[in-house]
Amino acid sequence: MFAILNKEIRSFFSSLTGYLVIGLFLLACGLFLFVFSGSYNILDSGFADLKSFFNLAPWIFIFLIPAISMRSFADENRMGTMEILLTKPIGLKKLIFGKYLGVVILVILAILPSLLYVYTISKLGRPPGNFDAGATLGSYIGLILLGGSYAAIGIFSSSLSSNQIVSFLLALFFCFVLYFGFEGLSETGIFGNSSYILEYFGISYHYQSISRGVIDTRDIIYFLSIIFLFLKLTEFNLSQSKNRR
């Protein structure tokens, strides 16, 4: 597994992929939070908190994480190296988890420089240091869990096709539906009193819950269940492909 993880990390940073992902994430966040006028601009809001960043980051990740993960298995299928990997004694579960961890580590590396925003907010507060540290910590935990969920979805989507663009679009669709789809449907009110239950199945509900600074085990279990589900779906899909070979 560690050999696969090491290979994934080296492949990210031996090309521009890793640097582009981290750079684009920070550039997009920096522009929306401090340059472009609008609801996300911290300076325009007049409040020294990072709520805008944590509201914006999931939407940027919807595009960035599928772009990272789309090559995980699609590239192996395209180049014909998937058969070689499947015959290795490493095992299918370790192969999947190694590739998954590679994506998650890159996501965490993209998040880490955003700690500079915490320092900035701390200095902007009146008095300095006057910001909600609990909510900020909870939001970072939620963002990492959300990134891990997107990564699992991306890995699964990559196993469905040998075309990276198709894998990217599938992951983009699944991430969008799970993050906003259930909430959007619940807001229509077409399900009546069941609308709240429908919203509960969406990632956004649990992400916003953790972002309040209260670490609820139900939210943790939800994210871990999403990760487990999509990694198991990946395993099932690859095992079926292996049997067909």
**pLDDT, tens digit, 9 for 90 and up, residues 80-108:** 677 667 666 678 888 899 999 999 999 99
- Separation of alpha carbons 163 and 69, rounded Å: 12
* From 43-52, 137-146, 166-175, 232-241, the region with the lowest mean pLDDT: 43-52
- Separation of alpha carbons 61 and 139, rounded Å: 15
- Separation of alpha carbons 237 and 207, rounded Å: 28
Instruction: With H, G, I as helix, E, B as strand and everything else as coil, classify residue 85.
Output: helix
Quick one: tokens of 198?
């429908």
- Separation of alpha carbons 205 and 201, rounded Å: 8
Query: Cα–chain-centroid distance for residue 99?
Result: 14
Residue 139: CB atoms within 10 Å? 24
Give the count of alpha carbons within 13 A of 42, CB side only.
Answer: 21
pLDDT at 130: 64
Give the count of alpha carbons within 13 A of 201, CB side only.
Answer: 11
For 170-202, write each residue's pLDDT tens digit: 999 999 999 988 887 777 766 666 667 778 889
pLDDT at 192: 66
What mean pLDDT is predicted for residues 139-146? 94
Query: Do residues 230 and 153 make contact, with C-beta atoms less than 8 angstroms apart?
Result: yes
For 21-54, write each residue's pLDDT tens digit: 888 898 999 898 888 887 888 777 766 678 889 9
pLDDT at 174: 95
pLDDT higher for 13 or 224? 224
pLDDT at 120: 81
Residue 69: CB atoms within 10 Å? 30
Burial of 35 (0-12, 13-18, 19+ CB in 10 A): exposed
pLDDT band at 220 (very low <50, low <70, confident <90, very high): very high
pLDDT at 83: 67
pLDDT above 90 covers a percentage of the chain that reads 38
* From 57-61, 196-200, 215-219, the region with the lowest mean pLDDT: 196-200
For 102-136, write each residue's pLDDT tens digit: 999 999 999 999 988 888 887 776 666 666 778 88
Helix 133-158 vs helix 51-69: angle between axes, to the nearest 10 degrees? 20
The pLDDT of residue 245 is above 60: no
pTM for the model stands at 0.90
- Separation of alpha carbons 206 and 191, rounded Å: 20
pLDDT at 197: 76
